[in-house]
A and B are shown apart, each in its own frame.
Chain A
Amino acid sequence: MIETKKLRKSFHNGNVETEILKGIDFHVGRGEFVAIMGRSGAGKSTLMYQMSLLDEPTSGEVIINGGHNAAKMSNDEKTLFRLTRLGYVFQDYALIPELNALENVALPLLMQDIPWKKAYTQAEEALKRVGLETHMGQLPSQLSGGEQQRVSISRAIAHKPDILFADEPTANLDNESSRIILEIFQELHKAGQTIIMVTHEPEYGKMAQKIVHLDDGMITGVTRN
């Protein structure tokens, strides 16, 4: 489904070069629920950004679905790929404040030129799936953190992406909300959704099918639950 080959990422600060990812070889199969875990600064989020085409690696390759090599894609192609094939759940929900829940979910569908009515129906279904059918008209500012994250998940899954990326999706949530979010992920996984989730909480990592341990920019181990 998605694999990385000798993936490296460095940042420059003046003359100082800091290597965050040190040649990651990594594969996630279709339908897998993978948690990337590690301590703060291990390179978890950086790895996810490279895999999800939000950033460009310094070297190495990201290959999705066997044929799509990120290095060979133009920026426009990456944008289109992200729109149609990938889904994102960010740590801080990343909802657009002036759009209500339904509009936030419908926007990427409309961008795919899905007819207005169909896009809204799909968005409604995605919101119902996370139990927010009564909150569709509410703005993000009118929702709790947990509810906002559920809207974010709805937006990420509404177009049935090949891979769902989640970057610390529960970091800003209380235990109850975190539990709900992870239950949703498990349900999505059961329905066949490929999920790659970054977390530093061992308890939540255990809910994934596979845990990839990262330390100092390298994979230090893979465990299966």
Chain B
Amino acid sequence: MSSLLNTRIGFFMAVRQIKRSSKWTTGLIIAVMILTSLNLIVVSGILVGLIQGAIDAVRTHYTSDVIISTLKNKSYIENSPEVMSVIDKIPEIEGVTARYLKGGTLEANYKTRVKETDKPNTAAGTIVGIDPTAEDKITDLSKFVVEGSYLDANDYDQVLIGSFLVKKYLPIESPGFSALDNIEPGTKIRINIGDIQREVTVKGIVKSKVDEISLRVFMVDSQFRSIIGRNDYNVSEIAAKLKPGTNPEVVRDALKRNGVDTVAKVQTYTDAQPKFIKDLVATFALLGNMISSIGLVVASITIFIVIFINAITRRKFIGILKGIGINGKAIEISYVFQSIFYALIGSVIGIVIVYALLQPFIAAHPINFPFSDGILVAPVSGTLARIALLIFTTIVAGYIPARMIVRKNTLDSILGRK
């Protein structure tokens, strides 16, 4: 008997068995396969998406696609105006925001301090001078204002303060960490940058899951330059947003070719990721795979049981088929086809649910994790690989019980003898 003939007969029997089996049973098996395929795709997708959400947020709201920052041991990018003119000549760059950065301390409640010896209410943070319009265009900073309002280009002595510097948003009693108490829009605070002290008004509080935003104090760049005496327009950070579809590496390399890397560190958003983030992605992917593997084993056992019960209750008919001369291989193949059918239908429905429903929904309504807005990461290649694995496992899980029953003595099967 040719294997092609056995396959044809196996298919013939499988189609009819599926078509004429109980709709409820078929529905239940398919439901299990849908859940299994979702488990395979979604669990690891959410775990990776949890970190990916953080990475995307850093990219969208802090580094943008390419970030140019100071070299080690430098507090600003030398010849920043020349760097800006190089940037202007690169057509793939849609826009930039330049930032002036200085470490400093903030002090609140100084007016209500009773004695000079009382411990002042201070917090350490990075003071950032920005062009509010350019910054908002590139990083949507205004979106994160949770109290008060966003900066205006003409604001003077006004700041946006990061929520990690405000005690009511970060109620941590740690001896090594201090935040400002009683802060709200309109509150006066002091900013100390080196020897310079300035009293400013809190115009708004910004709260983001990107730590770099929540730990900073923002003010209008023109005033910040005058405070720190930076008249050369040398900035500390330039975040460049690229035109859609542009590979950030291409722009990074173009900037390097133009000598920008001699005065600044030029990185894509990926380059700028700390190693622990990359490790986290790998760890979560591994975790996801481990959990998915359990799902795969459960699915295999489910299919094994389903096919085993199906085959054992049909043992008499399997015996009759063999008795009238139907090749055992054809009978086994019919069960393999049934397994493939269940796995395929379950997977296809699972894929439709993931790509047509879950992924767009979660993208529009990210999962609110404490440190990121989690998305569902489900690359098509990875999904197809998982589905292929599921189908393969299902085939094996369907074949083994079918073979066990088919191998039994023909007459014993027909007569129902043990």
Q: Does A79 contact B (CB under 8 A)?
A: yes
Assess the A108–B325 pair: CB atoms within 8 A.
yes
A interface footprint on B1-25 (CB within 8 Å = 1, 0 otherwise): 1100100110011001101110000
Is A79 a contact partner of B20 (Cβ separation < 8 A)? no
The answer to whether residues A96 and B20 also contact, given A54-B410, A83-B325 and a CB cut-off of 8 A, is: no
Instruction: Check B323 for interface membership: any CB of A closer than 8 A.
Output: yes
Other-chain residue from A83, A98, A139 in contact with B326 (beta carbon distance below 8 A):
A83
Query: Would A80 and B16 count as touching, CB distance under 8 A?
Result: no
Complex Cα distance, B317 from A99, in Å, reads 11
> Within the complex, what minimum Cβ distance (angstroms) separates B90 from chain A?
66
B400 part of interface (Cβ distance < 8 Å): no
Interface residues of B in 289-334 (CB under 8 A from A): 317, 320-328, 330
Please indicate the chain A residues that have their CB under 8 angstroms from the CB of B19 in the complex: 98
- B-side binding surface: helix, strand, loop or mixed? helix
Instruction: Tell me if A111 and B323 are in contact (CB < 8 A).
Output: no
User: What B residues does A156 contact at CB under 8 A?
Assistant: 324
State how many angstroms separate the Cβ of B241 from the closest Cβ of chain A. 62
When the two chains form their complex, are residues A107 and B414 in contact, meaning their CB atoms are under 8 A apart? no
Query: Given A79-B327, A98-B19, are A110 and B411 neighbors across the interface (CB < 8 Å)?
Result: no
Contact B5 A90 (CB under 8 A): no
Within 8 A of B (CB), among A95-119: 96-99, 103, 107-108, 110-111, 113
- A171 partner residues in chain B, CB cutoff 8 A: none
The answer to whether B326 touches A103, judged by C-beta atoms less than 8 angstroms apart, is no
From B5, B17, B325, B414, A82 is in contact (CB under 8 Å) with B325
Pick the residue among A54, A76, A97, A113 that contacts B411 (CB under 8 A): A54
Which A45-87 residues have C-beta < 8 A from chain B? 49, 54-55, 76, 79-84, 86
Please state if B321 and A96 are interface contacts (CB–CB under 8 Å).
yes
Closest to B326 in A: A111
Does A143 sit within 8 A of B, measured CB to CB?
A: no
What are 10 residue pairs bridging A and B, where the CB atoms are less than 8 Å apart in the complex? Answer: A54-B323, A54-B410, A54-B411, A79-B327, A94-B317, A94-B414, A98-B21, A99-B16, A107-B321, A111-B1
The residues of A that contact B9 with a CB separation of less than 8 Å are 107, 110-111
Chain A residues engaging chain B, CB cutoff 8 angstroms:
49, 54-55, 76, 79-84, 86, 88, 90, 94, 96-99, 103, 107-108, 110-111, 113, 139, 155-156
| A88–B323 CB distance below 8 A | yes
User: Which of A82, A84, A97, A99 sits near B323, CB closer than 8 Å?
Assistant: A82
A97 contact from B317, B322, B326, B414, Cβ within 8 A: B317
CB distance from A136 to the nearest CB of B (A): 15
Q: How many whole Å from A70's CB to the nearest CB in chain B?
A: 13
B320 x A94 contact (CB < 8 A): yes
Closest to B21 in A: A98
Complex A-B, nearest 9 residue pairs according to Cβ-Cβ distance, in ascending order: A83-B325, A98-B20, A82-B325, A94-B320, A55-B411, A98-B16, A54-B411, A98-B17, A108-B324
- A107 touching B326 by the CB < 8 A rule? yes
**What residues of A have a CB within 8 angstroms of the CB of B410 in the complex?**
54
A111-B9, A139-B20 as given contacts; A90 in contact with B320, CB under 8 Å: yes
Cα A8 to Cα B329 with chains together (Å):
31
Given contacts A54-B414, A80-B1, A98-B21, contact A110 B8 (CB under 8 A): yes
Q: Is the CB of B317 within 8 A of A96?
A: yes
Instruction: Please state if B12 and A113 are interface contacts (CB–CB under 8 Å).
Output: no
Contacts of A139 in B (CB 8 A): 20
Residues of B within 8 A of A83 (CB): 324-326
Contact B414 A110 (CB under 8 A): no
Which chain A residues lie closer than 8 Å to B411 at the CB level?
49, 54-55
B326: min CB distance to chain A, Å:
5
- Known contacts A55-B411, A76-B327, A108-B325; 15 additional CB pairs below 8 A are A79-B326, A79-B328, A80-B1, A82-B324, A97-B20, A98-B17, A98-B19, A99-B13, A103-B16, A107-B12, A107-B13, A107-B324, A110-B8, A110-B9, A110-B12
Contact A79 B325 (CB under 8 A): yes
B414 with A90: CB separation less than 8 A: yes
Q: How far is the CB of A20 from chain B (nearest CB, A)?
A: 13
Pair B322/A79 contact, Cβ less than 8 Å: yes
CB pair A96–B320 under 8 Å, yes or no, is: yes
Complex Cα–Cα for A86 and B322 (A): 13
Bound Cα distance A167, B322 (Å): 17
User: Given the complex, which residues of A lie within 8 Å of B16, measured CB to CB?
Assistant: 98-99, 103
Whole-angstrom distance between the alpha carbons of A101 and B320 in the complex? 15
Chain A min CB distance to B186 (Å):
78
* Measured CA separation A44–B13 after assembly (Å): 33
A110–B10 CA distance with the chains assembled, in angstroms: 11
Closest to B4 in A: A113
Task: Give, as a whole number of angstroms, the nearest-CB distance from B24 to chain A.
Answer: 16
CA distance A96 to B13 in the complex (A): 10
- Do A111 and B5 touch (CB < 8 A)? yes
Q: State in angstroms the CA–CA spacing of A68 and B162 once bound together.
A: 93
Docked CA distance A128–B100 (Å): 95
Q: How far is the CA of A158 from the CA of B5 in the complex (A)?
A: 19
Contact with A along B386-418 (1 / 0, CB 8 A): 000000000000000000000000110010000
CA distance A54 to B322 in the complex (A): 9
CA distance A76 to B322 in the complex (A): 10
Residues of A within 8 A of B20 (CB): 97-98, 139
User: What residue of chain A has the Cβ atom nearest to residue B15's Cβ?
Assistant: A98
* Residues in chain B near residue A82, CB distance under 8 A: 323-325
> CB-CB < 8 A to A155: which residues of B?
324
